[in-house]
Amino acid sequence: MRLPAFALTLIAAATLVGIPGCGEGGAEPTTGPETGARADQASGPSRPPSERPVAKVAVIGIDGATFSVIEPLIAAGRLPNIAALMERGAAMVLRSSEESDSSPVLWNTIVTGTGMATHGIIGFTRRTDTEVDGEVLSSYGIFTSQDRKVPALWNMVTSRGAFVGVLGIWNTWPAESVAGYMVTDRFAHTLWEDTSERRALAQTTNAGVTWPAELAGLVSAQVRPPEAVRREDLEQLGAFTDAEWDVIVHSGEDGDVQVGNGLRALRFGYQAQESVGGASVTLLDELEQPDLFITFLELPDRVGHHFWHAYRPDEVRGGAEQVEAGWRERWGEVLPRAYEVTDRWVGEIVSRLDPSTTILLVSDHGMQSSGSPGGRLDQLSRMAHSGKHSKDGILIAAGPAIVSGARTEATLLDVAPTVLAAMGLPGSRQFEGRILHELLDKGHLRRFPPGPAQSEAELERRAVEHTEGLDDAYMEQLRAMGYTGAAGEDVWDNRADAPDAPDPAGEPRDG
Ligand SMILES: [Zn+2]
């Protein structure tokens, strides 16, 4: 494989962290002197060279993916890549957490194998109280990787002598020094707000957006700024009038944070997913596939929240006649088409993975009707959330570690233990879930024996510079999505058993 000249700096950096160059076959287990040599070159946390064979695993996270949408679309032949994985592998509900419905909490549970009391990411924003002249002032910021109290899969893979690549997962900024690479959540999300100063800040300082820092040079061309969204791209989802397109491109420019703007959510959700999808494909093309590859696609969640009533008007409280005429005709296809776009990314990623890779498609929760009829068709910048999270997420698994057609009861807590077992790496004593043994092929486990669970070393801690401006941009977008209030306080209350969804014309928060 040829590497473009601009990648040379990166490759130098990659050699330092132990990613071999391209072109090595991945089908055979890596073991013995080669693995030792790779580990010896690694910088970052010191770790013993791996003596064991390591099997490749890839986790593709799809925020809010739900079988109630996937199954009918597969029946209609519209999600060929997800269908292919289900056909050759196993598919089952992944039960979400009872303790929260907040995506940062749930994704941190997935990657640490622990509940939020253990991992410490308890919502969208963290409150800091400072006392000034006897008065307590509260300020809010986004949880960072430094707030996570326990190691995540990437730390565990590193300490076990294997290699990892991570993209887009919530609260991964600032990037941790892993054996391999990280592209944090801020890669796409710091660019949510359209000011050139902020963007320049993100690009010139790097500011912990990737590990190693030089990786930014390889993936920065994949960033899709929200204001650069192309009409022909978004028209894959639906047809817009010129006035609607104007709302998509220009709303919020005056600094007004519009809560519940479904059209604007399309623009940010689409561009963020394109950014992370593009970076995923670039890294799989340019660098050898790491032992564990994790990436994140977010469009189904954004679209599900805003367009559920148009897709399934019959699920609205009081019946389909509560939904204003025209919603289904004009916007009923937005959600299915968002899944089609996401399915294409799944195909792009899977086609680049070595055939020896075991692939897991996981969602942090499912999606269902909130009961709300969505709002007025002539006020698309002010929509209620007509979709809300459900407890039934998805787990689709395929590849050499998986028993085809297997099924079991699985929860978010079981993902991390199962990933390490499928890789043939020791589990962790911190895990609060179980290895999903019913899914794992016994022959594979004999070839890649995980060995006994081990304790984790303390996480490296460093001072985090909260770059002013970058935090602001992220916070404003969380507010626009209805996750936080005006001061940044966490107001998310989207429990499956939550009381009635806000009325489109009523409450200020449309979460
Ligand atoms: Zn959501």
pLDDT of residue 38: 36
Distance between Cα 195 and ligand 1 center (Å): 26
Judged by DSSP in three states, 75 sits in helix
Looking at the predicted structure, is the pLDDT value of residue 355 above 90? yes
Q: pLDDT per residue over 36-52, tens digit each? A: 333 333 343 334 455 67
Q: Which pairs count as long-range contacts for 39-43, CB under 8 Å and 24+ apart, including other chains? A: 39/161, 39/179, 41/15, 41/16, 41/17, 42/16, 42/17, 42/18, 42/179, 43/16, 43/17, 43/18, 43/177
Judged by DSSP in three states, 435 sits in coil
Give the confidence band of 4 by pLDDT, cuts at 50, 70, 90: very low
Looking at the predicted structure, is the pLDDT value of residue 245 above 90? no
Distance between Cα 296 and ligand 1 center (Å): 14
Query: Given phi > 0 = left and psi -120 to 50 = alpha, else beta, which region is 24?
Result: beta
Distance between Cα 63 and ligand 1 center (Å): 7
Judged by DSSP in three states, 458 sits in coil
Looking at the predicted structure, is the pLDDT value of residue 144 above 80? yes
Distance between Cα 181 and ligand 1 center (Å): 27
Distance between Cα 110 and ligand 1 center (Å): 16
Sequence letter at residue 245: W
Distance between Cα 104 and ligand 1 center (Å): 10
Q: Lowest mean pLDDT of 29-43, 145-159, 169-183, name the range.
A: 29-43
Using the 8-state DSSP alphabet, how is residue 319 labeled? -
Distance between Cα 393 and ligand 1 center (Å): 12
Nearest-CA neighbor of 51 among 424, 336, 326?
424
For residue 389, what is the enclosing H or E element? strand 387-390
Looking at the predicted structure, is the pLDDT value of residue 503 above 60? no
Q: pLDDT per residue over 118-141, tens digit each? A: 999 999 888 888 888 899 888 888
Residues 416-443, mean pLDDT to the nearest whole number: 98
Distance between Cα 480 and ligand 1 center (Å): 13
Distance between Cα 347 and ligand 1 center (Å): 23
Domains in the chain (CATH in brackets) are: 5-480 (3.40.720.10)
Q: Distance between CA atoms of 298 and 280, rounded to whole angstroms?
A: 14
pLDDT of residue 246: 83
Instruction: For the chain, give the longest Cα–Cα distance.
Output: 68
| Strand-pair partners of 360 | 59, 397
Looking at the predicted structure, is the pLDDT value of residue 172 above 90? yes
Q: Are 209 and 173 spatial neighbours (Cβ–Cβ below 8 Å)?
A: yes
Cis ω before 4 (30° cut-off from 0): no
Please spell the DSSP secondary structure of 11-39, one letter per residue. Answer: HHHHHHTT---TT---SSPB-THHHHHHH
Distance between Cα 386 and ligand 1 center (Å): 11
Strands 358-362 and 366-369 turn out to be: unpaired
Q: Distance between CA atoms of 99 and 203, rounded to whole angstroms?
A: 37
Residues 102-128, mean pLDDT to the nearest whole number: 94
Q: Lowest mean pLDDT of 47-61, 296-310, 343-357, 444-458, name the range.
A: 47-61
Distance between Cα 305 and ligand 1 center (Å): 6
Distance between Cα 498 and ligand 1 center (Å): 14
Give the confidence band of 465 by pLDDT, cuts at 50, 70, 90: low
Distance between Cα 385 and ligand 1 center (Å): 10
Give the confidence band of 480 by pLDDT, cuts at 50, 70, 90: confident
Looking at the predicted structure, is the pLDDT value of residue 6 above 90? no
Distance between Cα 103 and ligand 1 center (Å): 7
Distance between Cα 64 and ligand 1 center (Å): 6
Looking at the predicted structure, is the pLDDT value of residue 185 above 50? yes
Distance between Cα 29 and ligand 1 center (Å): 38
Q: Distance between CA atoms of 152 and 489, rounded to whole angstroms?
A: 26
Give the confidence band of 430 by pLDDT, cuts at 50, 70, 90: very high
pLDDT of residue 15: 44
Please spell the DSSP secondary structure of 141-204, one letter per residue. Answer: EE--GGG--S--HHHHHHHTT--EEEES-TT-PSPP--SEEEE-THHHHTTSS--HHHHHHHHH
Distance between Cα 364 and ligand 1 center (Å): 9
Distance between Cα 144 and ligand 1 center (Å): 19
> Percentage of the chain surpassing pLDDT 70?
78
Distance between Cα 389 and ligand 1 center (Å): 6
Distance between Cα 390 and ligand 1 center (Å): 10
Q: Measured between alpha carbons, how far is residue 294 from residues 166, 283, 285 in Å?
A: 5, 12, 15
Distance between Cα 202 and ligand 1 center (Å): 26
Distance between Cα 47 and ligand 1 center (Å): 37
Distance between Cα 329 and ligand 1 center (Å): 24
Nearest-CA neighbor of 341 among 375, 299, 304?
299
Distance between Cα 437 and ligand 1 center (Å): 30
Distance between Cα 384 and ligand 1 center (Å): 13
Q: Lowest mean pLDDT of 232-236, 455-459, 503-507, name the range.
A: 503-507
Distance between Cα 247 and ligand 1 center (Å): 22
Distance between Cα 472 and ligand 1 center (Å): 21
Looking at the predicted structure, is the pLDDT value of residue 439 above 90? yes
Distance between Cα 132 and ligand 1 center (Å): 36
Distance between Cα 301 and ligand 1 center (Å): 5
Burial 68-95 (b: 16+ CB within 10 A, else e): ebbeebbeeebbebbbbbbeebbbbbbb
Distance between Cα 368 and ligand 1 center (Å): 11
Looking at the predicted structure, is the pLDDT value of residue 74 above 60? yes
Distance between Cα 302 and ligand 1 center (Å): 6
